Amino acid sequence: MDVLALIVIALTGEAIWETLKMIWEEGKVSIDRIGAIIVCLLLAFGARVDIFELIGIPLVIPYLGMVFTGILTSRGANFIHDLYAKLKTK
């Protein structure tokens, strides 16, 4: 694994964890966050979009990239744009 792949995995891993933490905040479940994740998971699977495949990091577990893509995209277009900018400069 090259350094760029390690950086990409670290950035996306942190982003996914931070997104999942938003499901449960201040002692209650965020229905909006769950809804956004479900919609984006459906879109990622329906369109077969895998962010890791797009940037050249194949994952061994089938469909895992689409799950991660759905979770990441649930944060919105600005987040994805910022993430893309970070990955592009590495």
- pLDDT for residue 17 is more than 90: yes
pLDDT at res. 55:
85
Residue 72 identity: L
Domain ranges across the chain: 3-89
What percent of the chain has pLDDT above 70?
Answer: 97
Burial class of residue 89, CB neighbours in 10 A (0-12, 13-18, 19+): exposed
pTM of the model as a whole:
0.85
Q: What is the pLDDT of residues 44-76, one digit of tens each?
A: 999 999 999 988 898 999 999 999 999 999 999
pLDDT at res. 1:
61
